[in-house]
Amino acid sequence: MSADKLLTTLFNAGIAVSIIATVLSLGMSFTAAQVLAPLRHVVPVIVLIVVNCLLIPAAAWGIFTVFGIKSGYVTGATLVAVGAAGPTGLKAAQLTKRADLAMAVSVVIVLQLANVIAVPLWAGQVVSGASISAVTILKDLLELVLIPLAVGLLVRWRYADHAKTWRLDLVKVANLALGLALIAGIAVNWSTVASLFGSLVLFASLVVALVSLAAGYLAGGRNASARVSAAMVSGVRFGSLGLIIIGTQLHGNASYLGAAIVFTLVNTVVAMLVAVETGRRAGTEASGGRPAAAGTGGQAAPAAGDGHASTR
């Protein structure tokens, strides 16, 4: 196995392990009722669907176009930006130590179901005739979110005495796997990233990543923990769906693939850096005697009177 293949395998495995371990730990943190509670608030959920499935993809296409980037780069980067709610956003939400994690899980599930309709429509607009099957999207939702979540909920119900210890161990595994994945991903794609330094793809990708975070934050309502949750879930785009389209229907064309890889890496790194900095500030506030917005272990404290927060 070549070094590039090994690093690619480490990247893919690290991301998968991090997501599954994170969702398992979240499942051990809540009851099914707490996870489903945010979905009772229909209007906030609809707002997040509109922002993630319509406004952010449109903004991404507009930003990449305005920067005067080559059309192939615009197409590749836009394709990986249209998918909403990458599961890695749950890890980002956890790292903030401020998020309403039950809400984050609920919103990720809803947005990934919305992807079944939105992503094929956007793909067809970006590249004539391009699409992705609903089965592929649902398979990712099932394997990365629904099954680990169900297992975590079952473990919490059946082994409540051990769930807290296991949850903390899973958080450590998820953090380690994510760190290794990011290192491997940057290393294996460094030549691609470096080759696009002068193309403004990097800078445009940074702008789109920040706009996605900001749009989610604004769509999160008045409650602080709900805004943080919405920002992290919206900020991490489901880039793998676009990469599948480029690989299968556009034959992995380098004109599309290079910009797509750059955006996916920038998007993930920016979201994680913002999440870590938010978590660091939350820890500083708590140690300074001021109440932080999240409880122990990164779970958001309930906020009364706001429709976005889950009932805890």
Both tokens of 232, joined, read 């992290």
Q: Would 301 be classed as within a structural domain?
A: no
Q: Would 194 be classed as within a structural domain?
A: yes
CA distance 156 to 152: 6
Dihedral sign for Cα atoms in the order 142, 76, 233, 7 = positive
224 vs 1: which has the higher pLDDT = 224
Q: Would 291 be classed as within a structural domain?
A: no
Q: Would 288 be classed as within a structural domain?
A: no
Both tokens of 296, joined, read 């122990």
CA distance 8 to 265: 13
pLDDT digits (tens, 9 = 90+) for 46-83: 999 999 999 999 999 999 999 888 888 899 999 999 99
Q: Would 196 be classed as within a structural domain?
A: yes
Task: List the CATH number of the domain containing 181.
Answer: 1.20.1530.20
Q: Would 311 be classed as within a structural domain?
A: no
pLDDT attached to residue 208: 97
**With bands split at pLDDT 50, 70 and 90, how would you rate the model's confidence at 268?**
very high
pLDDT attached to residue 283: 76
Q: Collect all residues with Cβ–Cβ distance below 8 Å to 73 and sequence separation of at least 6.
A: 64, 196, 199, 201, 255, 256, 258, 259
Q: What does the DSSP assignment read for the chain?
A: --HHHHHHHHHHHHHHHHHHHHHHHHHTTS-HHHHHGGGG-HHHHHHHHHIIIIIHHHHHHHHHHHTT--HHHHHHHHHHHSS---THHHHHHHHHS-S-HHHHHHHHHHHHHHHHHHHHHHHHHHSTT----HHHHHHHHIIIIIHHHHHHHHHHHH-HHHHHHHHHHHHHHHHHHHHHHHHHHHHHTHHHHHHTGGGTHHHHHHHHHHHHHHHHHHHT-S-HHHHHHHHHHHHS--HHHHHHHHHHHSTT-HHHHHHHHHHHHHHHHHHHHHHHHHHHHHHHHHHTTSPPSB-GGGPBPP-TT-TTSPP-
What domain count does the chain have?
1
The alpha carbons of the chain give a radius of gyration, in whole angstroms, of: 19
Q: Would 308 be classed as within a structural domain?
A: no
Q: Would 135 be classed as within a structural domain?
A: yes
pLDDT digits (tens, 9 = 90+) for 91-108: 999 999 999 999 999 999
The whole-number average pLDDT for the span 179-184 is 84
**With bands split at pLDDT 50, 70 and 90, how would you rate the model's confidence at 300?**
very low
Domain of residue 44 covers 3-283
